[in-house]
A and B are shown apart, each in its own frame.
Chain A
Amino acid sequence: MKQAVEAQQAGNFDQAIRNYKILLEKYPNIAEIHSNLGAALAGEGRYADAIAEYERALKIKPNPQVSLNLGLAYYKAGQLAPAIATLSKLHREQPANLQALLVLADCHLQLGENKTVIELLTPAQKADPENATFNYLLGTALVRDRQTAQGQLIIDKILRNGDSAQARLLMGTTKLTVNDFSGALQDFTKAVELDPKLPDVYAYYGLALLATGDQPGAKKAFEQELKTNPNNFDANLQLGVLLRQDEENDRALQFFQHALEIRPGDFGVRYQIATVELAKGQLAQAQRDLERLVKEDPKFPEAHVSLATIYFRQKKKAEGERERAIVAQLNAEKQANSPALKAPQ
């Protein structure tokens, strides 16, 4: 055990794993050996194996630190749903465990569940208003939730400590939400200069490049994000869209499928997968996927548009016209709710 721990501490995970496995042959029911093996496997980036070992350890003996490690392993493996389940339980049991809270909040942030992040972090941020990590995560959630005024207060707090990539990323995100694309691009460019390794920075830089018409630049930015942060949802989704536009359908599909693993069931990604199928001439498959999608979300206009295209291609006139009528109805509702679009002709 001593040798195994020493090897692990020296970063020799391979040796540590071998030693733990020998120990487990003799002592299969000692939780610490399983959890240590899990940590060594996680050190090697073998998260699926690490998760299995942590779960074995927890079955033998519950331990908050092992639960945290399990949550972290799920998080790093991009399995956000089980990460949230594990960390939520731990957060309920140990509300003072800040690491669990932060990772839990980041999981929700990656899923786009901004309101949950705000709910989770507001009390903790009030208790520790100068905590830079709390401020950054809470500020991000507020800005993404379009609560710009509250977000700005946090940005100001971050800026008091000087110009930083975090502050620039938040400022740029705020500008993106109000369609100030060139302003956002300037902030993201600066954020990339200040800290190119900041998670999400290249993804947002790519979004701003895309909005300002620089598709090749956006493509490079999304690729750069995925090099260090392969589970970034936006980078996977947007890179897939760009590849599909370039008719690289199979590559596009890989990124969409990974985006769907990050956010299972996401309507936008499922729609993109159907458009790839449509582009590949797999009409029946695309039709099936889109019909399922509009059943779950009857007000998804793009899905109805693609369905109409498929039906007309198949010479199913009645079905095509039905889909067009649905789109017209959705447009009419949208116009009725938009003062700018209500204007008489």
Chain B
Amino acid sequence: MIPLLMAALVIRECARCHPAEAKAHPATSMARAMQHPAESLILQEHPVLAVKKGDYLYRIEKNLYTVTNGSASLTFPISWSFGLGDAGQTYVFERDGVPYESRVSFFRAIDGLDWTLGASDSSPANLLEAAGRQMGKQDAAQCFGCHSTPTAGSLAPGVQCERCHGSTEEHVATLKPMKKLRATDAEEISNFCGQCHRTWADIAGKGILGVNNVRFQPYRLANSKCFDVDDRRISCLGCHNPHQELDRNDAHYDAKCQACHAGGKPSAKACKVSQSNCVSCHMPKIEMPGSHYRFTDHQVRIARANDRYPN
């Protein structure tokens, strides 16, 4: 079992010197990327979740996850909830100390359960397989590595300060500066955020083509014509402040585009159509099959109707 350390304890130390970041960050989706089931708003708002998929009935009630095939059933307490439901909330349970990923997840768009991404590709051979996918060591390390923060020999749920900036211990003791991401170039930032959101090399190397790669933003961004490895204005941090919740208002990003397209970069042309809501045309929202969610495509481009999805 992964030892639980409250996120609040982790950031309290940081808040003494960095109050603005420490105040805003706990409310972000990244900070809540993994939660104890008791903290999951979705589970609180949905006392009972149930769905029948194939031969199996799935039910989540009082943080217990049950799968039944009519003649037998298995019930597990949910150990963790991963994600906040926009693109799915998946549950992790344990059996004999081994973590399993639930075969069904909650999706906000349908306000209910459906296959976890990838789960519909295989048919379960037994009830346990129907309940979830056993996570291998490396698999578990990757999932927990992105949805929690290693700190002082334990794990804090969610992406907390130390996940990006490194251990606070040495910093507090010596006041040595921590990792400052703003000083790195677009390529390095892309690779840094890509540790979880997937780098260009991760996806291009695996040859994952088509709309299934739309959720891998650093990969998509690096494929953009305007991506310049040396120019921080087109890096992840050029548009997003990870200490604050994602701004979903298209107009919020206009200034970011105009930083180059309003004369800030000679090679960047001005748009003949509009100077506002740039992302609504140039970063179309695309639904990935099975995700019940429309992801913003980060491959910035002139997207024409009936064009093939690039890359």
Contacts and interface: CB of A to CB of B under 8 A. Distances in A.
B269 to A, nearest CB: 19
Nearest to B203: A305
Contacts of B133: 213
By secondary structure, the B interface counts as loop
Contacts of B223: 324, 328
Contacts of A336: 308
Interface of B: 122-123, 125, 133-139, 187, 200-201, 204-205, 207, 209-211, 222-223, 229-230, 284, 286, 297, 303, 305-311
A320 B229 contact: yes
Interface string A231-258: 0000000000000011000000000000
A230 interface: no
9 contacts: A213-B134, A213-B139, A246-B138, A302-B207, A320-B229, A340-B210, A343-B210, A344-B308, A345-B211
Given A302-B205, A306-B201, A214 B134 contact: yes
Nearest to B210: A341
A182 interface: yes
A245 B137 CA distance: 12
Contacts of A305: 200-201, 204-205
8 A-B pairs closest in CB distance: A345-B309, A305-B205, A344-B306, A305-B204, A215-B136, A341-B210, A309-B201, A182-B122
A344 B310 contact: no
Contact of B308 (A246, A321, A327, A345): A345
Contacts, number: 86
B100 to A, nearest CB: 11
A317 B230 contact: yes
B204 A341 contact: no
A305 B209 CA distance: 14
Interface in A270-316: 301-302, 305-306, 308-309, 312
Interface of A: 181-182, 186, 212-216, 245-246, 301-302, 305-306, 308-309, 312, 317, 320-321, 324, 327-328, 331-332, 334-336, 338, 340-345
B201 A342 contact: no
Q: Which of B136, B201, B204, B207 has the most CB of A within 10 A?
A: B204
A331 B220 CA distance: 13
B210 A245 contact: no
Contacts of A245: 138
B303 A345 contact: yes
Given A328-B311, A332-B310, A345-B307, A214 B136 contact: yes
B210 A335 contact: yes
Contacts of B187: 312, 320
Given A216-B137, A341-B309, 19 more contacts: A213-B135, A214-B134, A215-B139, A301-B204, A301-B205, A305-B201, A306-B201, A309-B201, A324-B223, A327-B204, A331-B207, A332-B310, A335-B209, A336-B308, A341-B210, A342-B308, A345-B211, A345-B286, A345-B308
A245 to B, nearest CB: 6
B201 A308 contact: yes
